[in-house]
Structure 1
């Protein structure tokens, strides 16, 4: 395991969100027929599984449940949820829209305040986006857009980060750097990842999904890559 990874949260750690035999899905489609799962404070969880296994559905359900409970949660959705016509600066700034009123946000949209530019700049710099900070995100590469979405989550901050494939469009070196930044900022992580090696390095708990079922739920240190490769077979 990566030296930055935490030890697994103790069983006595507070439960932040739990599902007890629940049916989850989207629209009319049912993805999980009978999901039982709990997320505890201080855990670093990696969700693994093929496309369509339920990772995005679980991330969305966790976000709704945690938000409804008043938890301070940041989100990196798989589709990034950026405003294409707005700049990298404005999209990162949106992480704190709820901290200001409508008039303040509108004025900052028209002519960014210096204090907000200075607040956002370190996040853009850390993520290699400083040269693009005033560029509309519709003119960025896929990897740059993904990093902008990560920057927005970093700027928002909070106790919990939920991220759906947050490093799928960047190279391995950048991915490790971004994941380290996440681990340093957020006490609790739930990350949907596509790379088994990165999951084993970053997480202290691995949840493997297959066809809407939890087929693996174990400490990362007790698993091998070979055991997890089976999630992608068949």
Structure 2
């Protein structure tokens, strides 16, 4: 099993010279192999938390441990063997093929001028196959649509074989079919996953645990059925939330109302 436990202890972050933190002290423990969804309104601190997890924003306070190692206390290459990230927006000017982009996921595992061998090629091929990219692997990355680029970057992260996978809105730019395919893939990965999602219903169906943030403060953490209550969703998102129980399972399906008009929270 490649997944490892994630422990976040009192992490916070503030912009330089800012008086108010973007994210106030936040703590949680995510067991190995579980999927955690981070939800909250715009400006809640979701992306800020994720940036600290993949070593982009240095925490102002606290520490982050993956498999018992503080990821900010080890060399960047060692951290890259533990944590992989897929971001919302992808560059379009790579003069590389899909296969070459996915192969970049193996760089943290190489030493010196070591070239890719048969084992590495097999890992890349498996990642391409998982995202249905193998038939198009010779295409240039810059010719792809936004949804196709997103799938390539998920494949690159899988090729990295991390212990923690961080996904910032992984369904962004994807059509419904590929949204469902990516979320189904996430459910079956042998890795601990933290993902931000705007759609509460997708979060409830996909994630084992939910962290709710609002204005930089953690409001709740735990299983979706415990955390995503009508009152908490109403308070956090400033909408009238109504939860309907689905007959096929014990999951809730939320609908949202604003000024007497039904709206869907995306």
Q: Same fold (TM over 0.5)?
A: yes
Comparing 75-84 with 176-185, greater Cα deviation is found at 75-84
Q: Which has the larger radius of gyration?
A: 2
Q: Which runs of 5+ in 1 are unaligned?
A: 1-13
Aligned residues: 213
For residues 164 and 140 of structure 1, what CA distance do their matches in structure 2 show? Answer: 20
Please point out which of 222, 225, 228 is paired with 1:221. 225
Q: Which runs of 5+ in 2 are unaligned?
A: 56-63, 66-70, 240-266
Deviations 1:167-196 (A, max 9, x none): 122123322322232232234211111211
- Counterpart check, 1:86 vs 2:96: yes
Q: What's the counterpart of residue 137 of structure 1?
A: 141
Q: What's the counterpart of residue 50 of structure 2?
A: 59
Which fold has the larger relative contact order, with Cα–Cα distance below 8 Å and residues 6 or more apart in sequence?
Answer: 1
Please point out which of 20, 28, 42 is paired with 1:38. 28
Distance 1:44 1:188, change over 3 A: same
For residues 95 and 83 of structure 1, what CA distance do their matches in structure 2 show? Answer: 18
For residues 101 and 95 of structure 2, what CA distance do their matches in structure 1 show? Answer: 10
TM value normalised by structure 2: 0.68
Contact 1:52 1:211 in 2 (8 A): yes
Give the aligned CA root-mean-square deviation in angstroms.
2.8
Q: What's the counterpart of residue 11 of structure 1?
A: none
Distance 1:27 1:181, change over 3 A: farther
Distance 1:198 1:189, change over 3 A: same
Distance 1:213 1:224, change over 3 A: closer
For residues 93 and 160 of structure 2, what CA distance do their matches in structure 1 show? Answer: 16
Q: What's the counterpart of residue 49 of structure 1?
A: 40
Deviations 1:45-76 (A, max 9, x none): 10012332211110111223443366622221
Distance 1:69 1:197, change over 3 A: farther
For residues 26 and 55 of structure 1, what CA distance do their matches in structure 2 show? Answer: 15
Q: What's the counterpart of residue 24 of structure 1?
A: 13
- Counterpart check, 1:96 vs 2:116: no
Contact 1:157 1:186 in 2 (8 A): no
Distance 1:25 1:183, change over 3 A: farther
Deviations 1:211-230 (A, max 9, x none): 21112323212245745365
Distance 1:37 1:223, change over 3 A: closer
For residues 234 and 104 of structure 2, what CA distance do their matches in structure 1 show? Answer: 37
State the SS of the aligned residue for 1:68: coil
- Counterpart check, 1:191 vs 2:201: no
Deviation at 1:116, TM superposition (A): 5.0
Deviation at 1:102, TM superposition (A): 4.8
Contact 1:41 1:187 in 2 (8 A): no
For residues 28 and 171 of structure 1, what CA distance do their matches in structure 2 show? Answer: 41
Q: What's the counterpart of residue 173 of structure 2?
A: 169
Deviation at 1:90, TM superposition (A): 1.1
